Amino acid sequence: MNEELSIYHDLFGKSLAIDYAKEAERWVDLVADEIKKHDTAVNGHGLRAVAPTATLPHWHWQLTINTMDEHNVQQELDLPKLLIIPDGNTPSGIYLLLGSKRSISQQEIVLWTRAISEAEVALKGQKVQTFTWQAAIAQLRERGGQQHYSLKSKTKVDQLILTSGRVPYMWHDSSTNPHFNSSAFNYSFPIIIEGTATGLDWQEASKQASRDLNKLTGLISVAWQSTWKVIQSPIPNSPQPLKIPLASPGMPNMSARYMSIPRKRRVIPSWLPKAFKNIDGDVATHDALHMYHEGLLIELEHPSFALLANVASIEAIGRKLLGRKAGNKRRFIAGLCTVIKTKKKAEEIAAAYAPRSDTAHEAKLHGNENLFGYVAMPSAFNPAPSDMFWLTHVLRLRRVACKVLTKQLKRL
C-alpha cells in the first residue's frame, strides 16, 4: 500500500482555486462524499502527508477512499489515489493529480474529475450556520485544602449562559501515590455552559466554541482563585439537555449526591463579562491568562513548571507596560509592581526568578517531581528545600500572578 507510485495523471492542467488553509478539509470531505454516491460500499477516506519522491518531487497529500471487504475489514478501494499539491505561488490554489502503481483508466479519470467538480460547486454553495452548544467545567482537587465552589445562580457572560449542575459529580483524579487496582477521585459541583458558534459546519464552529469555553474557564479560575477545567467538550444541542451524571465510568458504586459535601456558592464578579468580551483585543493579558491557567492545571504534579508559568504570566503584563525590547527580568518586576507598591517587596518576590531561569535554561527541578509516589511528610526539624518549594515559591507566586491578572482584567 505504501509503495512509491509510478504513474501520474494531471487532472486539470492548472491550479484549482481552493483556499488550502481554510477550505481544504471541507473540500476533501465533499470529494469523498461524491465518490460514495458512485459506490455505496465506500465508508470513509484517509489522508496522509507524503515527502517528495524521485518521480514526484513535491510535498503532497494522498487521499485514499476506503471500503469494507467481505470479512468486514477496512481496506482501500481499488482506485488511483488523489494527490493534492499546494500551489507554491498562492495560498488559494492546489494542483490535483491521480497517482497509481498501475495504468489509470479513462473511467477513473472521469469519476475523479466529476467528484472534484461537484465538490467544488458544493463548497461554494455552503453557507455559514449558527450552532448552539453545551459543555461543562468542574473544579480540580487542589493542594492546600481549597474550598469546593458552586455557581449560585444562572448567569450570562456575553453570549454564554452559565447554569449550576446542582449535583456533585465524582470523577477520576490523578494520584500522588498511584497503585495498581486503585484510583484517586475528586468531586466537584460542575457548571454547565451553553453558547452559540458560527461556521460552515460544526467542526469549524466547535473551534470557536472551545476557544470561548477555555477563555471562560481561565477567567473563572482567576475570579474564584481556584482551578477549573473542561470536563465535557462542546457538543451541539440536542432535544435532551446536558445533565451531570452520577459519576464517571469506573467509579466505586457510590453516589456523591447522597454525601454531605460542603460547598461555597459563588457569583460571577461584575468585571468578568466585560473582560471576556474585550480580552481578545489585549494580546498580553490574553497570553497571561492562558499561561496562568496552564500553571494551575499542572501545579500538583509539576511545581517547577507551574512556577515557570506564573513567572511568564507576570512577564506578559510587564511586556504590555515596557514593550518587547525590555529584558525579561525587567518585565517581570514591572508586572509585579502593578500590585506591589514597595520596591523592596517586589525585589524580594523577584527572587523567584532564579528558580524559573534554572528550570528553563539549566534543566533544574526544584520540587519533589523526582520523588513522585513518595508520601512521607517533610521533616519538621530539617525540611529539604524541595519539600517546601510549593509553599515558599509556587503558592506565593501564584497568588501574586492572580492579583496581577485580576487588576488587568478589571481594566478591560
Packing angle between helix 395-410 and helix 328-336, nearest 10 degrees?
A: 70
Q: How confident is the model at residue 256 (pLDDT cuts 50, 70, 90)?
A: low
pLDDT score, position 387: 72
- For residues 130 and 328, the model is more confident at 130
pLDDT given for residue 380 in this prediction? 65
What pLDDT is stored for residue 195 in this prediction? 96
Query: What's the average model confidence in pLDDT over 330-352?
Result: 85
Q: Tell me if 303 sits within 8 A of 394, measured CB to CB.
A: yes
47 class by beta-carbon count within 10 Å (0-12 exposed, 13-18 middle, 19+ buried): middle
What does the pLDDT read at residue 348? 80
What proportion of the chain, given as a percentage, has pLDDT over 70?
92
Length of the chain: 412
How far is Cα 212 from Cα 22, in angstroms, rounded to an integer? 20
Residue with the larger pLDDT of the pair 282 and 351? 282
User: Which has the higher per-residue pLDDT, 304 or 157?
Assistant: 157
Q: Is 354 left (phi over 0), alpha (psi -120 to 50) or beta?
A: alpha
Q: What is the pLDDT of residue 339?
A: 92
Amino acid occupying residue 112: W
So what's the pLDDT on residue 254?
A: 55
Which residues are CB-neighbours of 275 under 8 A, at least 6 positions away? 219, 409, 410, 412
Joined grid coordinates for residue 215: 477563555
For range 207-212, the mean pLDDT: 96
pLDDT digits (tens, 9 = 90+) for 215-238: 999 999 999 999 999 999 999 988
Please tell me the predicted confidence (pLDDT) of residue 374.
67
Reading the block at residue 141, the C-alpha cell is 482537587
Q: Which residue has the higher pLDDT, 10 or 386?
A: 10
Check pLDDT > 70 for residue 97: yes
Pick the residue with more confidence: 172 or 76? 76
52 has a pLDDT exceeding 80: yes
Is residue 67 predicted with pLDDT exceeding 50? yes
Reading the block at residue 236, the C-alpha cell is: 451541539
Say what percent of the chain tops pLDDT 90: 49
In this prediction the pTM is 0.82
Name the least confident of 106-115, 335-344, 355-364: 355-364
Res 351: pLDDT: 78
Question: Using CA atoms, how far apart are residues 130 and 323, in angstroms rounded to an integer?
Answer: 39
Work out the mean pLDDT of the chain and round it to a whole number.
87
The C-alpha R_g of the chain, in whole angstroms, comes to: 27
Question: Rounded to 5 degrees, what angle do the CA atoms 147, 311, 273 make?
Answer: 55
159-163, 319-323, 346-350: segment of lowest average pLDDT: 346-350
pLDDT of residue 145: 60
- HEC profile of the chain: CCCCCCEEEECCCCCECCCHHHHHHHHHHHHHHHHHHHCCCEEEEEEEEECCCCCCCCCEEEEEEEEECCCCCEEECCCCEEEEEECCCCCCCEEEEEEECCCCCHHHHHHHHHHHHHHHHHHHHCCCEEEEEEEEEEECCCCCCCCCEEECCCEEECCEEEEECCCCEEEEECCCCCCCCCCEEEEECCEEEEEEEEECCHHHHHHHHHHHHHHHHHHHHHHCCCCEEEEEEEEECCCCCCCCCCECCCCCCCCHHHCCCCCEEECCCCHHHHHHHHHHHCHHHHHHHHHHHHHHHHCCCCHHHHHHHHHHHHHHHHHHHHCCCCCHHHHHHHHHCCCCCCHHHHHHHHHHHHHHHHHHHHCCCCCCHHHCCCCCCCCCCCCCHHHHHHHHHHHHHHHHHHHHHHHHHHCC
Could you give the CA distance from residue 137 to residue 190 in angstroms, rounded to a whole number? 6
Tens-place pLDDT, residues 134-160: 999 999 887 666 688 999 999 999 999
**What pLDDT does 379 receive?**
62
Averaged pLDDT, 89-94:
81
Rounded distance between C-alpha atoms, residue 130 and residue 200, angstroms:
9
Confidence of residue 377 (pLDDT cuts 50, 70, 90): low
Tell whether the model's pLDDT for residue 258 goes beyond 80: no
Instruction: Region of 144 please: left (phi>0), alpha (psi -120 to 50) or beta.
Output: left
Pairing of strands 94-100, 7-10: antiparallel
Q: pLDDT at residue 1 above 50?
A: no
Over 80: is that where the pLDDT of 259 sits?
A: no
> Is the model's pLDDT at 105 over the cut of 90?
yes
Instruction: Out of 132-146, 196-210, 275-289, 295-309, pick the least confident.
Output: 132-146
Residue whose cell numbers read 508586572: 335
In this prediction, residues 344-349 reach a mean pLDDT of: 81
Q: Which of 71-80, 185-194, 222-231 has the highest mean pLDDT?
A: 222-231
